[in-house]
A and B are shown apart, each in its own frame.
Chain A
């Protein structure tokens, strides 16, 4: 029988692509998470810990960081820790695993370059030697037929399921377990926990890296009775930070109710200081409402570790609102009319824009062409500004 933790994609030294502002916090959280993984391993009394690739985000991680990882893993001594080089940390001459810092690793931490045996199992790894390849990493390995031990394959790559992989991203044939005759295929690379079948699993990253991940933040506790037996796999949540996305579709007239409901939902989120929140507003709304709603949403920023507000709302001013904005002024009414025409034409709703406004747009493109212009957004901003300048006087 064998009992081990299957994890992967720790991505230590992670670069925050979303929530860039709190990169340092995100990196720090990963250390907290791997401490938790060590706790789980010790608590469960496993035979070994298997990290199926991408322990590090890159081969250029500082020696201090490597040292910090090693000191956490040293806590597991003498439980073996098997580390497979992935596409982020491939085994090249510049590999982190050839550096001085890693070379100080104690003996129970082993790099998986060759097959290793434990008392009941044999682990055949397919370490990666480069960042991209069209080759199936499982095609390079095979199990010795005479062994009466539990066969575990350690691979890093993308399951070749149509629509879910790139051709140069180490495609792994989905029949990998059958083909190799493996009892368990320990995969790494995908960041969400994923079960292909009884014997093929991705554990996902133990600490989430993006709002788009649906099921990350776990490790797998795997138990296999003996050769040929089906593995028993258990998900254990270890994540430190939570990435959440809340969205609401606004409708003119009922914007306020919808926003209120959203705010109530957000209010219920636990552990807000350990949560990254993205609020996505879609649909149509009045500029005055948007102006007001921003004030409410901005107030939330203090509560959360990170708040990202995505306003993808289309401005839909109501006639009465416009009257209010114009405050009986013919001048402002005219400006508003021109501006809405401009906005409509920019958003491709109506081609009816005067020569004058075409000229204006042309001037803007010419003058500010060296900036990444988004004229539709700019026009929306102009509407918002008009609302701000007039409403504030009115009230």
Chain B
């Protein structure tokens, strides 16, 4: 906002109207002596712009001229946001506010009252609900009135600072800077993504494309290098194989030589072996011949000996035969004697046997007599017992007793009856009568009829179970009946039991259970007696009958008669048995002797048979010996015929022996020679030859492999491996240089862009930094020294760094502080000027500043008047003689000229 015209009346010293018009864009001077009302003008301006027309604030009231009730009236013409406005205001008495806007060549009413005030305040950056420190908006800092301590800079409220920053935005960047940043951003964007990475893919920058290309080329180069390495490896293999094959060839040659030598030796060996075999054959023939001679010679000797032996044997045989003849005669005699004795013994034995038979029969007869006697005794005893048994059985039959189970039943019934009756007594009732006069009655009590005479005065009692009927004939029939079912049941049970018991008693025609018991006991006694008789009979008869015993007695008597007949004796003649045993012993002795004699005879006969067999055998041997003797003699004759005589045989034997010995020695020598050769020479040769063949095969295989290797190496070598490698390496190197350059450039772009962004942020995202930079610039120009000025939030000078040392503001002179405070205001104004030209009011500042510095400040003021409107109020115009100002108002002149009514 800048001021164009100010008109006041009823304000301070200006009771009448005073108008200042024609303020220019740059520096304006308002001159006047002290107390003339310079500051009042500024206060009036403030009140008009920043206070509501309806306000009765102390500030407003203080505008009223001393001792009057005049209503202050102020008219302001100002420019803001590219438009010209006129604000007319009257306070306190009939206050109003009217805002005009210059449109179409004239001022037109724009708003009134509150709306007018609100609009103006909005224009001047006053918050909607202003606080004390924000009521004046920016003017609080930019308009320095005399009253305020201009040495101490008001701080910039945060609320305002934010408002300013919102307005300024990036408008702090000059066009030049903007172009620079735009160009930089473009350059950056060609290489990097938003997130600061290299762009990849189609639009990738050269540096990335180069890197990728190099990567590909490197892979190719590696492949070639691998091939080159394989050449080296193959070459090494070839060299190794070549050496191997050479060695194997040498080995082959040596083995060949060895085999040749072995074969030669083997030939010699074979010849010797043949010789040996032939000689061995001859030796064999000779040996056979020699053996033959030897055999014949020995045979002759043998035959001679044989003949002698046979003759001797024949002699011995004859002698033995004669001996045997003598023995035969002797034994014949002995045999005859023995046979005679045997016959005598036979007769003796027969006599003894007859005697023994007779004795035995007599004995048997005696025994039979005894047996018959015993049998007769037993039969009579048995007959007696039988009689007793018959009698006992008859007695038993006569007793009428119940069997055991029936008895038991009777007993049970009896007991049951007693129990039931006792129960009946308790279950039933008692019927009592006492007769006043005696009478006879017929009573039926529980079906039992009783006829009783009842005495007078005597109590008669009946235990009734169910029913009692009493008939007193001619008088009454009384019936008393129990209604209990139990009583009836009991009564029935008793009747039933009584009936059953009665049945048993009738059966055995007895009266009581005692009688029945007595009879039963009697029966038991009789039974026991019978059992004892039967047992005795069984003991005597042992299961047999009397007839059996009689039959046996008859048989025995028959046997006895027969025996007595045989013995020719009478029963009476029977003697007790005698020495049967002695006879038996004699008989045994005789039998023994007989057996012994028979054995002796057999022995003699056997010996005689043996002697006869020996004689036969000896005769046979004699015949054989004779034959053998004859054959030996003929053999001797045959052998001697072959040679002529024995002497000739001996000569032939001796010659043969000599020949054999000679050839034996030759063979021995040959054997020694053969032994010097190693064994299995043929096998060794065969083995060696096989190895030779294997080696040859191995060499051939290796040679094939070598050929293959050489072929494949040849193939590799026939290409242009090194040429390719060289070209690829060169290409890579070229690209790498380019890539490095591009990389450095790209990273350079990144660094510059990042730094620029950082600096930009720092400078324009706070209001303080650029202001601080400006203040630093200004103060250094004013003081001619290099200082760093640091501002805190709220634009307070927090420290000043000089020569690397930070200082507090207090340490500086009042003049410097005054200058700093002025410069901060100017800087703030300048910063705001980027948005809109601002008015700065300086009310008698620079009082402590020397003329030199003041002059420098003037230069700055002149500079900034390009962008700011400055109104300077002073009572000392001579101080500003060096300043190039645009317009000056002399209040004393104005007041005189207009005489309070304006220009």
- On A, residues with C-beta under 8 Å from B are 13-17, 20-21, 23-24, 27, 57-65, 92-94, 96, 99-101, 327-332, 334-335, 338-339, 342, 356-357, 360, 363-364, 367-368, 371-375, 377-386, 389-390, 393
Contacts and interface: CB of A to CB of B under 8 A. Distances in A.
A322 to B, nearest CB: 14
A211 to B, nearest CB: 14
A20 B727 CA distance: 8
A332 B731 contact: no
Most buried by B among A58, A65, A328: A58
Question: Which A-B residue pairs are the 3 nearest by beta carbons?
Answer: A381-B748, A62-B720, A15-B726
Nearest to A371: B743
Given A94-B231, A367-B196, A339 B751 contact: yes
B805 to A, nearest CB: 16
Given A60-B717, A339-B752, A332 B177 contact: yes
B174 interface: yes
12 contacts: A13-B723, A13-B726, A23-B726, A63-B717, A93-B242, A94-B232, A101-B718, A330-B770, A334-B763, A378-B743, A382-B752, A384-B748
B352 to A, nearest CB: 140
B876 interface: no
Given A60-B721, A63-B718, A367-B196, 19 more contacts: A16-B726, A20-B732, A23-B726, A23-B730, A60-B722, A62-B722, A331-B763, A332-B180, A342-B751, A342-B755, A363-B196, A363-B754, A371-B743, A372-B740, A381-B749, A382-B748, A382-B751, A389-B180, A393-B179
Nearest to B232: A94
A61 B234 CA distance: 17
Most buried by A among B721, B722, B749, B770: B722
Contacts of B338: none
B758 A338 contact: yes
Contacts of A62: 718-720, 722-723
B560 interface: no
B197 A335 contact: no
Nearest to B227: A60
Interface string B695-726: 00000000000000000011011111111011
Interface in B570-611: none
A381 to B, nearest CB: 3
A100 B718 contact: yes
Interface in B422-477: none
Given A13-B722, A61-B720, A93-B242, A360 B754 contact: yes
A360 to B, nearest CB: 5
Given A100-B718, A335-B755, A342-B755, A385 B187 contact: yes
B401 to A, nearest CB: 139
A85 B758 CA distance: 65
A379 B730 contact: no
B749 A385 contact: yes
Nearest to A16: B730
Contact of A385 (B198, B228, B748): B748
Contacts of A64: 720
Contacts of B756: 331, 335
B546 interface: no
Contacts of B770: 330
A364 B755 contact: no
Most buried by B among A339, A342, A378: A378
A331 B751 contact: no
A20 B207 CA distance: 19
Most buried by A among B196, B717, B762: B717
A93 B726 CA distance: 22
A20 B238 CA distance: 35
B180 A381 contact: no
A60 B718 CA distance: 8
A65 B234 CA distance: 23
B197 to A, nearest CB: 7
B183 interface: yes
Contacts of A327: 176
Contacts of A368: 198, 747, 750
Given A60-B721, A331-B173, A373 B758 contact: no
Contact of B748 (A15, A338, A380): A380
B395 interface: no
Nearest to A360: B754
A356 B758 contact: yes
B228 A60 contact: yes
A20 B174 contact: no
B760 A331 contact: yes
Contacts of B721: 60
Contact of A20 (B242, B722, B730, B751): B730
